[in-house]
Structure 1
């Protein structure tokens, strides 16, 4: 039923003159069902109720559609991270709140991967050769206004909050994104495709909490240290 509603929405978008978004919606459906390999321009056109020729007026090829769906998937990932962080109860100490926020966005990241594996894989897929792939980021400081890197920028902001509140030494800040991101991403892939995928739900959830808490703890000033607040 969900797929049918999305397909109807795509067709409605086209009839209102927004074929590009209708094709992206169809591509998101395809990614949800089967990951990046399923994002085929001809099939997206069929779901949107138009001919492949019409679709090619908006996307030069399959790689361009995949890039648009990839960016959309990244936005959904960032939304999930923010929702988990927003669900935290208010705290009375900025430093403790910063710790909880970092752990929460990590849980949101892994939770999205488990709930939407097709979209998660698409969010980190490579577009086909010739697509208008963004090449302006070398993995250090992505553009702040590029939606493709919103989840990364959420992580950066959470790490900055740890420093600002005195919870993390400034010396631990360089490269902290890589350490936190790679740990969360590695856990997500182990749960999706590795032996951890066989864990019962309660054990799986405990592993997620333990891993995200360990990421945070490894970045902090030790309790009782003169630099802690």
Structure 2
């Protein structure tokens, strides 16, 4: 049985509602999110909750924006593990790391991931700091590939769409599709194949020699 969220401290009701919403989505998925229920969790009237959020969509957009920041944290945790000094290999491994970090979050936080996916149009207007946007972080990593001569400038155009489509699709089929019952090892092997395919396609734009073992570390 889930214990109710502790009462909020005076002046922190908006933040308390957001934290309660994150907990609720983790427990029940995005469909179970309702302002009235959250108000009960933090021991206030539903009218008090509506003073901070116009409606459920307003709250969902705020929570989804926070989730995007958490995805960035997961991506950056993987990026921190890339330690090679070779500039080309480093850039290649950083691209693979962003993909792994994105999938890591989807696997460990499926409820929050589903909410963010269902709210992408609203999320774009809630992220005030670009550094908390996974798409911006991905773009910076792709720019590094161009900078080290591994990816051509022409192939760089809209490369975010290619990479995001691949890892996002992989994330979806991992939590709601045919890979749902896979072991962690099986999923890692399958994701490696996806990341290798992207790496090879980008190497081909500049004729770069690549080593798969190097990419996988």
- Inter-partner Cα distance in structure 2 for 1:79 and 1:134: 17
1:156 counterpart residue number: 139
**Equivalences for residues 142-153 of structure 1 within 5 A:** 145-146=129-130, 150-153=133-136
Q: Do the aligned partners of 1:144 and 1:150 also contact (CA within 8 Å) in 2?
A: no
1:139 counterpart residue number: none
- What are structure 1's unaligned runs of at least 5 residues? 137-142
Q: Do the aligned partners of 2:61 and 2:123 also contact (CA within 8 Å) in 1?
A: no
**CA shift for structure 1 position 135:** 6.8
**CA shift for structure 1 position 210:** 2.0
Q: CA deviation digits over 1:63-116, x for unaligned, max 9?
A: 11111111111111111111111122x212111111000100100101110110
Q: Normalization by structure 2: what TM-score?
A: 0.87
Report the number of matched residues. 208
Q: Name the SS of the counterpart of 2:54 in structure 1.
A: coil
**CA shift for structure 1 position 45:** 0.8
Q: Do the aligned partners of 1:81 and 1:107 also contact (CA within 8 Å) in 2?
A: yes
2:215 counterpart residue number: none
Q: Name the SS of the counterpart of 1:160 in structure 2.
A: helix
- Inter-partner Cα distance in structure 2 for 1:224 and 1:135: 38
**CA shift for structure 1 position 4:** 4.4
Q: Normalization by structure 1: what TM-score?
A: 0.83
**Which aligned runs of 4 or more in structure 1 are off by greater than 6 angstroms?**
none
1:94 counterpart residue number: 87
**CA shift for structure 1 position 203:** 1.0
Q: Name the SS of the counterpart of 1:59 in structure 2.
A: coil
Could you say what the CA RMSD is over the residues aligned between the two structures, in angstroms?
Answer: 2.5
Q: Name the SS of the counterpart of 1:195 in structure 2.
A: coil
